[in-house]
Amino acid sequence: MVLNSPVRQTPLVTQVADQFRGLIASGAWAVGERIPGEIPLAAELGVSRGTVREALRALSVTGLLEPRIGDGTYVRATNEITGVLVRDELTGVLDARAGLEAASARLAATAATPGDLAALEAALATRAAAHDAGDRAGYIAADAAFHRGVVVAGGNPLLLRLYDAVAEAIERSMEDTTILPEDPDVRDAHHAILDAVRAGDRDAAVTASYHLIESVKTSMREHT
């Protein structure tokens, strides 16, 4: 970790916060990692502890950092968009997913290439194999690959950038909602999305995308 002593043209808190933000974005401070305390950070930067505290507080407000009383401060997300989603309730993240994925599925129904369809089919096959083997990590990875594949198939680069920007929150929602063995309705909803995209049925693709998220919510309620 290398920090530079701030200059005086802009507020010190802003400069320090920008340096911390850069460490998070670069991975020098990784998600889930506890960062150094206020005293060593202040000493390395040559600023007051109060300045460091305010900079950390600013990044906590945006969701990048998470202060834990008695335990220190941890990195929560790599960007502000993901930070906001991670901070929100799981149902809010699921609803955001539904809108983004439904829009992508609608486009994919007319834009998907044979290669896109093959990738989606492969992701579902891998997902099913991991499920049957009880491989939870493999199942989640294949699930994430399928949903991102739908966005890729939609052919809209802005939607893909948005999806990738919140990928951490989306994958965390998958981890939080994965229940094995899975609810058959959840499994069938995935295949319904692929079937609609393959058939070029935009309305069915949207319906299937929203139904998938609702089936996930239902499965969660039944297992709590």
Rounded to an integer, what distance in angstroms lies between the CA atom of residue 189 and that of residue 206?
Answer: 11
Which of the pair, 28 or 71, is modelled with greater confidence? 28
The answer to whether residue 168 scores a pLDDT higher than 70 is yes
CB 177 within 8 A of CB 216: yes
Side chain identity at residue 121, one-letter code: E
User: DSSP states of 21-56 as a string?
Assistant: HHHHHHTSS-TTPBPPPHHHHHHHHTS-HHHHHHHH
The per-residue pLDDT for 177 is: 84
User: Tens digit of pLDDT for each residue in 135-163?
Assistant: 999 999 999 999 999 999 999 999 999 99
At residue 77, what are phi and psi to the nearest 5 degrees? -155, 165
The per-residue pLDDT for 122 is: 98
Determine which of 3-17, 32-46, 100-114 has the lowest per-residue pLDDT on average.
Answer: 3-17
Rounded to an integer, what distance in angstroms lies between the CA atom of residue 205 and that of residue 200?
Answer: 8
The answer to whether residue 87 scores a pLDDT higher than 60 is no
Rounded to an integer, what distance in angstroms lies between the CA atom of residue 101 and that of residue 113?
Answer: 18
Confidence of residue 2 (pLDDT cuts 50, 70, 90): low
The answer to whether residue 8 scores a pLDDT higher than 60 is no
SS3 of residue 177 by DSSP: helix
Confidence of residue 93 (pLDDT cuts 50, 70, 90): confident
The per-residue pLDDT for 144 is: 95
User: Tens digit of pLDDT for each residue in 35-49?
Assistant: 999 999 999 999 999
SS3 of residue 181 by DSSP: coil
Which of the pair, 149 or 5, is modelled with greater confidence? 149
Rounded to an integer, what distance in angstroms lies between the CA atom of residue 157 and that of residue 40?
Answer: 42
Which of the pair, 122 or 170, is modelled with greater confidence? 122
User: Tens digit of pLDDT for each residue in 173-213?
Assistant: 888 888 889 999 999 999 999 999 999 999 999 999 999 99
Confidence of residue 172 (pLDDT cuts 50, 70, 90): confident
The answer to whether residue 74 scores a pLDDT higher than 70 is yes
Rounded to an integer, what distance in angstroms lies between the CA atom of residue 46 and that of residue 67?
Answer: 22
CB 174 within 8 A of CB 182: no
Query: Partners of 68 in the beta sheet?
Result: 72
Rounded to an integer, what distance in angstroms lies between the CA atom of residue 224 and that of residue 208?
Answer: 24
SS3 of residue 129 by DSSP: helix
Residues, the chain: 224
Q: Which domains does the chain have, with CATH numbers?
A: 12-78 (1.10.10.10), 88-222 (1.20.120.530)
- How many Cβ atoms are within 10 Å of 60's Cβ, its own excluded? 16
CB 19 within 8 A of CB 4: yes
User: Tens digit of pLDDT for each residue in 54-66?
Assistant: 999 888 877 788 8
